[in-house]
Amino acid sequence: MTAPDPPPRPGKPTLPWRARLLVGAASALHGASFRGDGTVNRFLVSLFDRPAPPTPAPVAGVASTDHAVSDHLRVRLFTPTTAAGDEDSKQRPVPVVVYFHGGGFVFHSAATAQYDELCRRLASGIPAVIASVDYRLAPEHRFPAPYDDGEAALRWVLAGAGGALPSPPAAVFVAGDSAGGNVAHHVAARLPAGVAGLVALQPFFGGEAPTESELRLRDAPFGAPGRLVWLWRAFLPPGATRDHEAANVPDAIRRDADAGDGRWRAFPPAVVCVGGWDAHQDRQRAYASALRAAGAEDVAVAEYPDAIHAFYLLGELADSRKLVGDVAKFVNRRAEQLEKRALDQARD
């Protein structure tokens, strides 16, 4: 006999009224833009996906500029004044974080106002240069287009970003949230030697068999089962199931380890951020566990028990501010480790 589904988590997450309205509106408008034939109503999306312009003159201590990597790929650089304010600071290497926005592979861009604001907070709070990647979106551009764009953007940064960086990067990290966290993982897996660390904010993974948290939190923000099915169908190759290696990443890592593939032992240090009101949390913890079991040496999980999916976009939340601090600690600790290692090698 099949076990009954676990009951939904009692109560609702505590959110300020403005945040609750924004989350409800975004969820409703996302759903309304889905078409039955698998396409997206981009006009409707444009009505709520408000773009923010770049600000070459610093705003709140952060300047931003847009750059072309190729004919179809753009990157928005966010540079804190602490990295580009005077001649001495221009000679001081700073970390660079290559960032991939969320949105189920279907929504948003590097210019989306909420992501522009998040990247500004990260640039100032770490401090670091944030390279926010405007990767191609599904369903117009399916797997592996975002991964290809992410790899191209990372290679561009590693090569000096066409001279757009204030100094040679001290260390280059990859980061992303939700679907962007999925992209960040696959980009790091392609070029592990070039990545100092991975920051995965509530990464979006999937699978055919629902997890306990997906059943329990199916009514939580951005957790509706029908929504998840539609998004994966829009992104994955035609005919693929959600157990495809792009979606069911924990299982893919475990299969590699069982087959004796030791490549995950070279995976960069990672921190995985998990929210207690996020339907995807079981897969996120399983991802961290799979990396550790496969030999990755430094994989941490940061828990935010009261956080909904995409809480980091709501700057007024205490957990959102805490996350920026936690990311700053991870990036700076890892950058300091690499700097010390380089100095020790130079002395030998």
Half-sphere exposure of 231 (CA within 13 A, CB side): 24
Is residue 309 among the annotated active site residues?
Answer: yes
**What is the pairing mode between strands 74-80 and 62-68?**
antiparallel
Q: Which of 64, 109, 124, 178 is catalytic?
A: 178
| CB of 338 closer than 8 Å to CB of 43 | no
Question: Which among 269, 279, 323 has a CA at the least distance from the CA of 118?
Answer: 323
Q: Quick one: which of 199, 184, 178, 187 has its CA closest to 128?
A: 199
End-to-end CA distance of the chain: 65
CA-to-CA distance for 162 and 160, rounded, in angstroms? 5
Extract the tokens encoding 93.
């290497």
Whether 134 and 73 have beta carbons less than 8 Å apart is answered as: yes
Residues 130 and 123 sit within 8 Å (Cβ to Cβ): yes
- Report d(CA 310, CA 316) in Å as an integer: 13
275 and 247 in contact (C-beta within 8 Å)? no
The tokens 């068999």 sit on which residue?
A: 209
Cα–Cα distance measured from residue 122 to residue 128, given in angstroms and rounded to the nearest whole number: 7
Residues 157/172, Cβ–Cβ less than 8 Å? yes
Catalytic residue among 132, 186, 309, 319: 309
Annotated active-site residue in 278, 280, 282, 319? 278
- Is 178 a catalytic site residue? yes
Active-site residue list: 178, 278, 309
